[in-house]
Copies of this chain bind each other. A is one copy, B any other.
């Protein structure tokens, strides 16, 4: 890697950590520069503005955050469907809390801007929608395999999506719960057949 790229990446990584710790707004370029060991104006050699840095941070963070990474749909069959669904969720939870929480917090901050017409909004929403759509297709796949009831499969998929997603949020906020058990229940519910109490 050339020096330029190296420094750029160091800047991005320092920015991620600092943004996560103090928030994007409250993180000054001076702090980031200090972390990397260069001076504030030097950042401008790598990024045209703070906004561009933020953007690059966003891209860097979420470029490989995709549904298929956690739930490789083509690997799912009748035998392993439930288990792989369960494990896929578990794999989304932060293992390495030290590094993961800050990142999640930062994701959350990007989300905030979604509703504000901030320009990440669409990207974040797109990411959420990718996961919603991922779960939908996965359960449709399950329905075709006959392991999931066809009726309401989409709604069940969305419930799953909402649960995994929010589990990560709650973990991040420090709410103590047995998340594995909760996720297990959500997965199990996906396979249950039965009457609807509410129409």
Measuring CB to CB, which residues of chain A are less than 8 angstroms from any residue of chain B?
Answer: 21-23, 25-26, 82-83, 86, 101, 105, 108-109, 111-112, 114-116, 121, 124-125, 128-129, 132, 152, 155-156, 158-159, 162-163, 165-167, 169-170, 172-175, 177-178, 181-182, 184-189, 191-198
Contacts and interface: CB of A to CB of B under 8 A. Distances in A.
A64 to B, nearest CB: 22
A109 B194 CA distance: 40
23 contacts: A23-B116, A83-B198, A86-B198, A101-B115, A105-B116, A108-B108, A111-B173, A115-B172, A115-B174, A124-B173, A129-B175, A152-B185, A155-B178, A156-B189, A159-B159, A159-B182, A162-B166, A162-B167, A162-B182, A166-B169, A184-B198, A187-B198, A188-B197
Contact of A182 (B83, B155, B167, B178): B155
Contacts of A105: 112, 115-116
Given A25-B25, A172-B115, A173-B121, A193 B191 contact: no
A107 to B, nearest CB: 10
Contact of A163 (B121, B159, B181): B159
Contacts of A152: 185
Given A105-B112, A188-B198, A198-B184, A173 B86 contact: no
Chain A interface main SS type: helix
Per CB-CB distance, the 3 closest pairs between chain A and chain B, nearest first, are: A155-B185, A192-B194, A166-B166
Given A184-B155, A186-B159, A198-B188, A173 B115 contact: yes
B177 A159 contact: no
Given A155-B184, A185-B156, A193-B194, A128 B163 contact: no
Contacts of A108: 108, 111-112
